[in-house]
Structure 1
Amino acid sequence: MKTTTQVAVIGGGVVGCSVLYHLTKLGWSDVLLIERSDLTSGSTWHAAGGFHTLNGDTNMAALQGYTIKLYKELEDITGMSCGLHHVGGITLADNQDRFDMLLAEWAKHRYMGLETEIVGPEQIREIAPITNTDGIIGALYDPLDGHLDPSGTTHAYAKAARMGGADIITHTKVTATEQRADGSWDITTDKGCIHAEHVVNAAGLWAREVGAMAGLYFPLHPMEHQYIVTDDVPQIYERDQEHPHVMDPAGESYLRQEGRGLCIGFYEQACKPWAVDGTPWNFGHELLPDDFDKINDSIEFAYRRFPVLQSAGVKSVIHGPFTFAPDGNPLVGPVPGVRNYWAACGVMAGFSQGGGVGLMLAQWMIEGEPERNTMAMDVARFGDWISPGYTLPKVIENYQKRFSVSYPNEELPAARPLRTTPMYDIFDAMGAVWGAQYGLEVVNYFAQGDEPRFETPSFRRSNAFEATRREVWAVRNTVGINETHNFGKYKVTGDGARSW
């Protein structure tokens, strides 16, 4: 077994293999991936394998577009099949707010050069004929949407990395990580010790446990997720072409063709966190017991949206865990205050985001910074104030809102208030409407009289406009008082700090 390496990547799912490949692509060949079991163990192997570009953050959407286009490159490099099905997909809108959101996303896509399209009910029925469009205003169509083979894609990343000089060792469990004085790392495994200049935590379901070995807390939590594969459906297998994906946010479901039948999964409100006390080390290629009770409401809604499901038998049920961060975005980049320790975890949409995550992290490590603004997935966006008591309710909230309308300036209530300033009670009594920044309660504006103590989010002018107008006028013409607790503060130390 190799005992020294420039980079040790811990975790052999799709994200770890993507990081390994991109490191070699950018010129580092002395890199090693360590996997406790087989490649794809954990969440990767049981994933539904869907991919799409839709994301509320422009830079994340661009990285998802990069990821999707990368798969053909992987096939060309390795000669392996990723099992690509570029069938396109539509995201339905059943109300004006949701349609406004799709219009906003469409505008972003045009800016980024992504060729998406807004379509009406008649076009929806042509594109996805099994869809009942009653109550549907319109949809966003993306020709890049599709699905792939999770195992084949992960192994294609791995082969491409090996072709670039990387090493991969499987059935090797990491049991400890300890930093040397020079910033490098000793990684203890059940097969010996490995000395690495850099460590990348891409351990997926076990990212919390691997982080704890270095005294780090990663704000992640696994959630149970269930999807169903049906028996053969004549309206599917009698078609001349593969049926596209359909995302139905009102029903909290995604649907696609699987062989001669259908695959449908749900982000149900009655969701359940998994492994609250830690992920078992002996878990890997197992599934969780079927749990139809928590998705009964979702299934009933799906019967109305896709009537062909009413007569379709169930072929198989896939029920397994995957990890979320509190805001649903990945945790990527250098861990603050810990030299040469990097994160690549919490990537709940691995086949939409894994390629982009691998590229950004490799650029960060090799070139000193990524080419794009990565704030949405920077591990540093959560500080040392975060704890499991905050992470768990926020992860549950994010799972439940996976298909909700994503409004600008929306404030979400879970795990709040967490941190407050000495002025909190005073401002609250004055009618403060609160927001949260970096876990800290901050005043967005002050309500007066019978004005509501919350902002109703909107893609148009919200109920906060009048209060904001009033405050801007007051500050411009008289005077205002502002708190500084929520502003960034920097401490400069060392020789010459004062003169600097």
Structure 2
Amino acid sequence: MKTHVKALIVGGGAVGCGIALHLARAGWDTMLVERDELTAGSTWHAAGLLPLFNMGYATGHIHDYSVKLYAGLEAETGLNAGFTRCGNLRMAQTDARMDEYMLYSTTAETIGIEHEFLTPAQIKERWPLVRTEDLKGALFHPTDGYINPADVTQAMARAARLAGATIERKIQVNGYRWTGSEWIVSCDRMVEKGGNLIAANEPFEIHAEHVVTATGNHAQRTARLLGIKIPAIPVEHQYIVTEPDPALVKWRAEGNPEHPVLRDADAKWYVREERGGWILGPYERNAPARFLYDVPETFRADLFPLDLERIEEEYMSMIHRIPTSETVGLKDDFNGPICYTPDGNPLVGPAPGLRNMWLAEGFSFGITAAGGVGHYLAQIMTQGEAEIDMASLDPRRFGRWMTTEYAVKKNEESYEHVFVLHHPDEEREAARPLRTAPAYDRQAAAGAQFGQVNGWERPNYYAPQGFDDHAARSFRRGGWWQFVQDEAKAIRETAGLIDASAFAKHRVYGAGATAFVDWLTTNKLPKVGRINLTYALTETGTTHTEYTVVRIAEDDYYLISAGAWADYDGDNLTKLAEDKAGDFGPIIVQDITTQWGVYAIAGPNSRAILNEIVRDADPATVLGNKRFPWLSMRNIELGMVPVRAIRVAYTGELGWELHYPIEFGRHLWDLLVKAGEKHGLKLVGARAQNWLRQEKSYRAFGTELGRDATPLEAGLDRFVDLGKDFRGKAAMEAKGIRSKCVTLLIDGPEDADPWGREALYLDGVKVGRLTSGGYSVAFGKSIGMGYVRPDLAVEGTRLKVRMMRELYDAVITEDSPYDAENKVIRIDG
């Protein structure tokens, strides 16, 4: 057996084998070790469905790649993976569910996933065993289907071996040690004894330059061995297999095709044919998490006892939807562990705090994802970046604050929400509130409807007491829409106060800090007391992070970035600072997110409000352009509160970000609210801010900015100093301009705005996609931002945008269509 390899994969389920296949194809010396037999974990009892439906852009690409890969495995390996391409019929009982499918359709269009909409009559005509009179319609994927999980895993394993990979079974990993250049992985052989798998006490080591963990149900043991947090914990999932249904047997005997995989999302189940009978898989309430800390040594290819009472409602709804199943008996049942994460997406990418350690954990749809994850993770590992933005799956999106109990509650919620309506404005309630800024109680009393960002409670908008945010959610203009419009107008006309405490904040200082930050970022460094907007790139030239850099002192920098990405940014900063300390000198990186709160005040009256409470020898001038120009920072006093004030506003109005020591937050909030009473101050949430920043064409990380576009493609040339050297510069220039970011004004439907997932067309040909969307109070119509072919990125270009299955007029407008010359934001007082 090999003891030295370039890449070691730990875990022999479908995901591990998919990664082994693609790393081997990339030419890496690859070995996979599995503690038991291949497929011994969740793979063996998976139902093997291949759902292409996914609201996420990256996950949609992953699923699409997998289905295409599996279709060709038999020709490559000689092994039949058991792929049945029967299609997938996703039914809707409500108009809201049809709206969800129409929104999904736009994502599918941008990826290129084949799909069609069917009426109830068309469903009944094709599949008469399905009851349709209470349906609104359905979404049909003709290329979808199911596969035998064990067979597809073995086929990928054989393909991996054919590509040069080594696969070893009955090897358990017991420890990891990083030497600075390679991982030394402590292992032991496992042997059968009395039906159990036990260590043979024959320890040995494997040396690997890179390690990938794909340990499935054993993720908590992996986390403990690595000394990190991995919020992947299994949840029970049960499904039942019925005896043959005579009506189904007769249907097939008459030469009719197999039913597609049936999904009644409103009833929370899937059903497919199985040897003349049916498989029912529900996603019920109260399915418990298991293996919170470890998988018992005695648990191998085992199952939990079935809890039929828990799925009674779903079982009865299957009988309603397929009436012939009512008299059919149960033939078999399965209740096994399937991993989930707090947001339902897997963890794919670098392990936080570790070098050359990669995670592929937390797969609730592991069979569907295995091939695609192998493909894109291999790209990240071997080429530095995937061809699509994988940030939404990056393990570092979850912070170190996350506990086991939090993961349990959120993972159980993720399971229950598989078939719950996935509103774009969805906010899930489990484990909340948890992380709260000082003024949380004040905001709640004022009617704040909160969202969650990295565990932080953040007001989305404010509504009258008793307003039901859940009932207000919609795929169109929900019940919240008018409140958000009023908030956006207030910032344009008077003033608004936003709690932005969730911003990620890092301090970078030391003798090497200036050289480091200069090398890390694309823009010129600001002078002391000034700020700039800049970008940190990946080695491949795409956008890793957007920073507002505040220069506190000669070698002391305050870096502000997106609130959802504190650990993602901190991990990158820390690793790069360690790498460059030898070149630049000592560099200290501190995550100070929880030490500083942030209030953003913006609008024509914002200076007047601050003048009410600023304490200065000459308060009339302290906030004027001479002493406090745009894009500068000053330490000021507001009442009794020391404030690091930054003259910048994400809304494009006159305004300031007020960064304050966190313990002063409640007092400062009260001070601002009271001072603003006579100036028309309105409390404002994140949704209005999102609309307003699009009127200024301000790109946002995670939408316009990501690891599939460069700052030049994003149209941010003014923030890129090509006269200096910076990380990723050569790669960025080599990519050229593949697409271009633009802002569009849209004459959409009267009751809906784009969400930022829609396809863009010219003469019936898809030419781009939206990445953000909303409503413009300045222009009185829908607005969006997105990417189009470079030749079309010209003001005045007329396109069409797909919304609710219809095409609507959209015109590319100038960059920053509201106050393009920044006169408002620079106004003196």
Number of the residue aligned with 1:12: 12
Number of the residue aligned with 2:86: 87
The correspondence for 2:245, drawn from 218, 222, 233, is: 233
Aligned-partner residue type, residue 394 of structure 2? D
Cα deviation code 1:335-359 (max 9, x no counterpart): 1221111110111111211111111
Number of the residue aligned with 1:310: 326
Residue 46 (structure 2) pairs with residue 34 (structure 1): no
Question: What is the alpha-carbon distance in structure 2 between the residues aligned to residue 202 and residue 391 of structure 1?
Answer: 18
Residue 107 (structure 2) pairs with residue 108 (structure 1): yes
The correspondence for 1:390, drawn from 394, 406, 413, is: 406
8 Å contact kept, 1:59–1:374: yes
Deviates more, 1:214-223 or 1:481-490: 481-490
8 Å contact kept, 1:433–1:446: yes
Number of the residue aligned with 2:119: 120
Equivalent positions of 1:320-399 (< 5 A) are 320-399=336-415
8 Å contact kept, 2:184–2:205: no
Number of the residue aligned with 1:197: 209
Give, in angstroms, the shift of residue 169 of structure 1: 0.7
Residue 199 (structure 2) pairs with residue 186 (structure 1): no
Number of the residue aligned with 1:299: 315
Q: Indicate the structure (1 or 2) with the bigger Cα radius of gyration.
A: 2
8 Å contact kept, 1:177–1:188: no
Question: What is the alpha-carbon distance in structure 1 between the residues aligned to residue 72 and residue 21 of structure 2?
Answer: 12
Report SS of the residue matched to 1:320: strand
RCO (CA 8 Å, sep 6+): is it higher in 1 or 2?
1
Query: 1:175/1:496 Cα in 2 relative to 1: closer, same or farther (>3 Å)?
Result: closer
Give, in angstroms, the shift of residue 404 of structure 1: 1.0
Question: What is the alpha-carbon distance in structure 2 between the residues aligned to residue 250 and residue 468 of structure 1?
Answer: 29
Cα deviation code 1:19-64 (max 9, x no counterpart): 1001112221x11111000000110011111112101112211221
Give, in angstroms, the shift of residue 277 of structure 1: 4.1
Number of the residue aligned with 1:206: 218
Question: What is the alpha-carbon distance in structure 1 between the residues aligned to residue 408 and residue 127 of structure 2?
Answer: 37
Question: What is the alpha-carbon distance in structure 1 between the residues aligned to residue 292 and residue 4 of structure 2?
Answer: 35
Query: 1:277/1:209 Cα in 2 relative to 1: closer, same or farther (>3 Å)?
Result: closer
Question: What is the alpha-carbon distance in structure 2 between the residues aligned to residue 158 and residue 491 of structure 1?
Answer: 46
Give, in angstroms, the shift of residue 432 of structure 1: 1.8
Question: What is the alpha-carbon distance in structure 2 between the residues aligned to residue 244 and residue 450 of structure 1?
Answer: 44
Aligned-partner residue type, residue 19 of structure 1? I
Give, in angstroms, the shift of residue 378 of structure 1: 1.5
Give, in angstroms, the shift of residue 456 of structure 1: 1.8
Deviates more, 1:124-133 or 1:388-397: 124-133
Question: What is the alpha-carbon distance in structure 2 between the residues aligned to residue 453 and residue 19 of structure 1?
Answer: 42
After superposition, the CA RMSD in angstroms is 1.7
Question: What is the alpha-carbon distance in structure 2 between the residues aligned to residue 388 and residue 418 of structure 1?
Answer: 14
8 Å contact kept, 1:236–1:243: no
Residue 430 (structure 2) pairs with residue 414 (structure 1): yes
Query: 1:18/1:494 Cα in 2 relative to 1: closer, same or farther (>3 Å)?
Result: farther
Equivalent positions of 1:148-297 (< 5 A) are 148-182=147-181, 184-190=183-189, 191=202, 192-238=204-250, 239=252, 240=255, 241-297=257-313
Question: What is the alpha-carbon distance in structure 2 between the residues aligned to residue 110 and residue 403 of structure 1?
Answer: 21
Report SS of the residue matched to 1:122: helix
Cα deviation code 1:430-461 (max 9, x no counterpart): 32221110111111122246655667210111
8 Å contact kept, 2:8–2:211: yes
Question: What is the alpha-carbon distance in structure 2 between the residues aligned to residue 454 and residue 120 of structure 1?
Answer: 28
Number of the residue aligned with 1:488: 504
Query: 1:400/1:450 Cα in 2 relative to 1: closer, same or farther (>3 Å)?
Result: closer
Report SS of the residue matched to 1:357: helix
Aligned-partner residue type, residue 391 of structure 1? A
Deviates more, 1:189-198 or 1:347-356: 189-198
Number of the residue aligned with 1:473: 489
Report SS of the residue matched to 1:51: coil
8 Å contact kept, 2:187–2:206: yes
Question: What is the alpha-carbon distance in structure 1 between the residues aligned to residue 464 and residue 88 of structure 2?
Answer: 46
Deviates more, 1:58-67 or 1:41-50: 58-67
The correspondence for 1:404, drawn from 407, 420, 439, is: 420
Unaligned runs of 5+ in 2: 190-201, 519-829
8 Å contact kept, 2:181–2:209: no
Deviates more, 1:84-93 or 1:208-217: 208-217
Query: 1:171/1:184 Cα in 2 relative to 1: closer, same or farther (>3 Å)?
Result: closer
Report SS of the residue matched to 1:410: coil
Query: 1:454/1:402 Cα in 2 relative to 1: closer, same or farther (>3 Å)?
Result: closer
Question: What is the alpha-carbon distance in structure 2 between the residues aligned to residue 452 and residue 294 of structure 1?
Answer: 28
Question: What is the alpha-carbon distance in structure 2 between the residues aligned to residue 383 and residue 194 of structure 1?
Answer: 30
Aligned-partner residue type, residue 456 of structure 2? L
Q: Which has the higher strand share?
A: 2
Question: What is the alpha-carbon distance in structure 1 between the residues aligned to residue 419 and residue 336 of structure 2?
Answer: 19
8 Å contact kept, 1:205–1:222: yes
Aligned-partner residue type, residue 8 of structure 2? A
**TM-score scaled by structure 2?**
0.59
Question: What is the alpha-carbon distance in structure 2 between the residues aligned to residue 379 and residue 68 of structure 1?
Answer: 24
Question: What is the alpha-carbon distance in structure 2 between the residues aligned to residue 303 and residue 454 of structure 1?
Answer: 30
Give, in angstroms, the shift of residue 326 of structure 1: 1.0
8 Å contact kept, 1:185–1:199: no
Aligned-partner residue type, residue 432 of structure 1? A
Number of the residue aligned with 2:606: none
Question: What is the alpha-carbon distance in structure 1 between the residues aligned to residue 205 and residue 390 of structure 2?
Answer: 33
8 Å contact kept, 2:50–2:367: yes
Question: What is the alpha-carbon distance in structure 2 between the residues aligned to residue 202 and residue 320 of structure 1?
Answer: 18
Report SS of the residue matched to 1:369: coil
Number of the residue aligned with 2:826: none
Query: 1:164/1:453 Cα in 2 relative to 1: closer, same or farther (>3 Å)?
Result: closer
Cα deviation code 1:79-120 (max 9, x no counterpart): 111011000110010001001101111232223222200000
8 Å contact kept, 2:100–2:423: yes
8 Å contact kept, 1:221–1:323: yes
Deviates more, 1:469-478 or 1:364-373: 469-478
Number of the residue aligned with 1:441: 457
Give, in angstroms, the shift of residue 13 of structure 1: 0.2
Report SS of the residue matched to 2:98: helix
8 Å contact kept, 1:86–1:145: yes
Question: What is the alpha-carbon distance in structure 2 between the residues aligned to residue 491 and residue 247 of structure 1?
Answer: 49
Question: What is the alpha-carbon distance in structure 2 between the residues aligned to residue 228 and residue 489 of structure 1?
Answer: 49
Question: What is the alpha-carbon distance in structure 2 between the residues aligned to residue 410 and residue 258 of structure 1?
Answer: 35
Cα deviation code 1:441-499 (max 9, x no counterpart): 11112224665566721011112222212221221122333334212334445654236
Question: What is the alpha-carbon distance in structure 2 between the residues aligned to residue 299 and residue 455 of structure 1?
Answer: 27
Cα deviation code 1:375-421 (max 9, x no counterpart): 32211111112111211111111111111110012111100111111
Aligned-partner residue type, residue 68 of structure 1? V
Query: 1:230/1:391 Cα in 2 relative to 1: closer, same or farther (>3 Å)?
Result: same
Deviates more, 1:420-429 or 1:100-109: 420-429
Query: 1:25/1:129 Cα in 2 relative to 1: closer, same or farther (>3 Å)?
Result: farther
**TM-score scaled by structure 1?**
0.96
Question: What is the alpha-carbon distance in structure 2 between the residues aligned to residue 384 and residue 243 of structure 1?
Answer: 46
Report SS of the residue matched to 1:289: coil
8 Å contact kept, 1:270–1:295: no
Deviates more, 1:92-101 or 1:125-134: 125-134
